[in-house]
Chains A and B, each alone.
Chain A
Amino acid sequence: MKTAFPVLVVLAAIVALWYAAVAPMNIRTALDQAERAGAAVEPAGARERLEVSVWRLMIDNPDHVSEGYALDRPRLPTPVQVGEELWKTTGEMVLKGRAMSKRSLIYHASITLQSTLWGFLLGTTLGILGAVAIVHSRVMDMSVMPWAIISQTIPIVALAPMIIVLSAQLGIEGRGVPKAIISAYLCYFPVLVGMVKGLRAPTASQLDLLRTYNASQRETFFKLRLPASLPYLFTSLKIGIASALVGTIVGELPTGAISGLGARILIGDQFGTPLAIWAALLAAAILAGVLVTLLDILQRVTLKRMGMPT
């Protein structure tokens, strides 16, 4: 409750700013349209208007400002327009019983989700196994950890088209695999770092205690290190799934994919339908929010049952 009110106020302020920005952003397009429809516009001619600032245009043509809020192809759509477009491509499709049609964002979101989850699974597995190896083997720690850090400073998007060409050449069918590889690449690092930290979280005295119990390395791992690492694991899983989604969308962007949220953004760009881009962006944001929230709930439940503070 203490944070809900400020968050709502800030959100309202953002929406208000957004609405205010729509008028200057869209005034040129609105005037062009009005002129084509035969209305008198000051100054006449699209080329002449480029010389005039948007503020001047808004003062000179106060009647046409409102038209900027209802354009078909706005430079900046209003939140309501984006919401309507999103509803049109999700809820309405469901009501019509065509939730999985190619025009439905639910279909595209499910394609993206699939690759994201595969990438997440792959990345998390790699991250956890790597962390276990790094914690238990000094040579892994010394020789692999620096490269893991360097791997993240390499912009993966530079590699994304390469990965897709490579997997196509190697005869891997479908676009899901390269996307999953890209998202695994972005996702494994936070998990690796978090798990290394978590597995090393037990204090020297706790480790000593297990040694006095004559516990083997295996027992120490399963009874002390692994449980102690869980809070770290969940925190990094939340970062990891968000990165995996970013990876999938990046993997869909430059590669001419035809399904998936990233592909919707690409297609919206190529066909000049900004509303489709905005709706896909909003859908991606919602997907990210849902995934992170699910992991958050899982974290709370698990840690509570283990008797840890959440």
Chain B
Amino acid sequence: MTLLIFSVVIWCAVWAMNRQIANSPDRDDRAARIFVPVVLGGATLFLWEGLVTGLGVSPVILPAPSDIAATFAASTAILWEDFVQTVLKGALTGYVIGCTAAFVIAVLIDRSSFLTRGLLPIGNFVAALPIVGIAPILVSWFGFDWQSKAAVVVVMVFFPMLVNTVQGLRETDAMQRDLMRTYAAGYLQTLVKLRLPAAMPFVFNGLKIASTLALIGAIVAEYFGSPTRGMGFRISTGVGSLSIDLVWAEIAVAAIVGTLLYGGVSWIEKVVTFWHPSQRR
């Protein structure tokens, strides 16, 4: 009980401190911008710990963060195996294939304004559809192993990426293209030196959306059949056998991987599109 009260007090103290920082003149500091959310996250984890142990919540319902961390540390071998199966083989393969294919096709159809006008509304519509539902069909086509997961990911990331790239390629205005023409630049030169760089913010937007979709696709596809490894497999069997702490450890892995993937794409975006207003400091 004391832990519960203690954690609540800590959480409120952290909030008050964040309030102080947010209203102080140093608030735009890089350190402050990172410090504030990180401390709040830590305090929330501690509050979770306090609530679970203080109120005596059964670990079958919600394990404490310390239990999850202990399970995480004890079962790194299983977690690594699942990580390789789901993320490296399923999600990343599909992500690379799907995004590359969408990018290449976007550049190709961009040459014809007819195709662009025809494909853009359809692509926009398909991007809004619940494509994850296609997972069981693809699992029955490509078998239980990671190939079917990669296929689901390819289908899921393809349309958001296509739509964003096509939109990005249309970003340059007539003035800029005219300038390239006065330089006697050919199609390829205009594409490489003007239109692709201008499209990069959109391309990276698509890549970021696709990075979260890739993990979702790979995990959902495993619910429909997988070899006896993989994050989705472990989660669905773990829920069934009530080894909830292992499930939470997998969720932690998924969260870390998702954040790292997104962060990685954002970092590359920062390097590539340093000139864009949204990246300037």
Give the B-binding residues of A (Cβ under 8 A): 2-3, 6-11, 14, 75, 137-139, 141-147, 150, 152-159, 161-162, 165-166, 169-170, 238-239, 242, 245-246, 249-250, 253-254, 261-262, 265-266, 268-269, 274, 277-278, 280-281, 284-285, 288-289, 292
A280–B212 contact, CB under 8 A? no
Top-8 shortest CB links A-B = A6-B118, A10-B118, A269-B136, A139-B22, A153-B258, A242-B128, A254-B223, A146-B37
Q: A152-B212, A161-B235, A249-B132 are in contact. Are A274 and B61 (CB under 8 A)?
A: no
CA distance A156 to B254 in the complex (A): 9
Q: Which of B15, B114, B139, B220 has the most CB of A within 10 A?
A: B220
CA distance A150 to B118 in the complex (A): 35
Q: Which of B32, B119, B133, B219 has the most CB of A within 10 A?
A: B133
B220–A157 contact, CB under 8 A? yes
B231 interfacial by beta-carbon distance below 8 Å = yes
B185 interfacial by beta-carbon distance below 8 Å = no
The residues of A that contact B121 with a CB separation of less than 8 Å are 3, 7
The residues of A that contact B216 with a CB separation of less than 8 Å are 155-157, 250
Which of these binds chain A: B92-100, B242-250, B269-277? Answer: B242-250
Q: A154-B258, A280-B133, A284-B130 are in contact. Are A165 and B239 (CB under 8 A)?
A: yes
Interface of B, helix, strand, loop or mixed by DSSP: helix
The residues of B that contact A242 with a CB separation of less than 8 Å are 128-129
A150–B236 contact, CB under 8 A? no
Interface of A, helix, strand, loop or mixed by DSSP: helix
Q: Please give the distance in Å from A182's CB to the nearest CB on chain B.
A: 12
A9–B37 contact, CB under 8 A? no
CA distance A278 to B136 in the complex (A): 10
The residues of A that contact B36 with a CB separation of less than 8 Å are 139, 142-143
Give the A-binding residues of B (Cβ under 8 A): 15, 18-19, 21-23, 27, 32-33, 36-37, 40-41, 58, 60-62, 114-115, 117-119, 121-122, 125, 128-130, 132-137, 139-141, 211-212, 215-216, 219-220, 223-224, 231-232, 235-236, 239, 244, 247-248, 250-251, 254-255, 258-259, 261-262
B23–A2 contact, CB under 8 A? no
B134–A281 contact, CB under 8 A? yes
Which residue of the partner chain A has the closest CB to B40?
A143
Q: Please give the distance in Å from B227's CB to the nearest CB on chain A.
A: 17
B33–A142 contact, CB under 8 A? yes
CA distance A250 to B133 in the complex (A): 8
CA distance A157 to B18 in the complex (A): 32
Q: A153-B212, A161-B239 are in contact. Are A166 and B128 (CB under 8 A)?
A: no
CA distance A260 to B244 in the complex (A): 26
